[in-house]
Structure 1
């Protein structure tokens, strides 16, 4: 049975600024620390720089729990990439029957709301995966909120 989770934060930045943050590889990796480290091929700086074909893997990334315990791989695959609006990632991933991450931006007053929706189906350990994802994405949103002035 799939796990569905939602996380959101309102940031005191323009949608353009928020978009630059959520597509910048270094900023994405910063959001993941200290929980997870994800490798990215040399030279990739931004999701928008990639030759995007919906549903086609962009690259294979190695995932490391706490930066040093190997978790497996993810074949980063975007279904949608809508500049200034958001993206949908559906990546084949070790230990998952399904990994779907939707990240959207919405104008919220004078700021921008970042909304993450996850639908995942782990092969095993669903309660542990749910707990990990809650902690991991709560941290990602904490990093986003601290980044905003």
Structure 2
């Protein structure tokens, strides 16, 4: 199963970053202008920290350029604690999608780490998916670094 990791040191307190990155406004800000995710109003307002653990929270459509549906994520948070979540979902193109994010205190502020593992459906080459996922999370981390005056982790 391919795995992608990206990490950034951000110059902001871990709790402030966590409060932002667990909201749909924060998630979509990281992904703009490439894409955005939809969610029901209750999830948009409450964020992922309010979803029932281990249950499908929603089908979130992923919209290229913010408008064109190209993928969906049947969003399931399987583990959640302060500073860490683990999503294990299915997607239109992925039999299994696992995204773990941690936000931990760091001497410069906090360290945000994303680990993504996946199993593509059908004949989608894993190498192509890994390239797309890697570029997407590089983009997300650049957006986080810009918002919170950060840098890539060593």
TM over 0.5: yes
TM-fit CA distance, 1:75: 1.2
1:40 counterpart SS class: coil
1:91 counterpart SS class: strand
Whole-Å separation in 1 of the counterparts to 2:9 and 2:129: 26
Deviations 1:109-148 (A, max 9, x none): 1410000001111121322211111111001000101111
Deviations 1:6-46 (A, max 9, x none): 00000011111111111121011111112222111124222
Q: 1:8 to 1:89 in 2, by over 3 A?
A: same
Instruction: Tell me what 1:108 maps to.
Output: 106
Instruction: Tell me how large the CA RMSD over aligned residues is.
Output: 1.4
Instruction: Tell me what 2:12 maps to.
Output: 13
Whether 1:148 and 2:124 are equivalent positions in the alignment is: no
Instruction: Tell me what 2:38 maps to.
Output: 39
CA contact (8 A) 2:60 2:75 kept: yes
Deviations 1:70-94 (A, max 9, x none): 22321110011112x2100011111
CA contact (8 A) 2:84 2:101 kept: yes
Q: For 1:1-149, what aligned pairs fall within 5 Å after superposition?
A: 2-43=1-42, 44-45=44-45, 46-48=47-49, 50-52=50-52, 54-83=53-82, 85-123=83-121, 124-149=124-149
With normalisation by structure 1, the TM-score equals 0.90
Whole-Å separation in 1 of the counterparts to 2:27 and 2:58: 16
CA contact (8 A) 2:10 2:108 kept: no
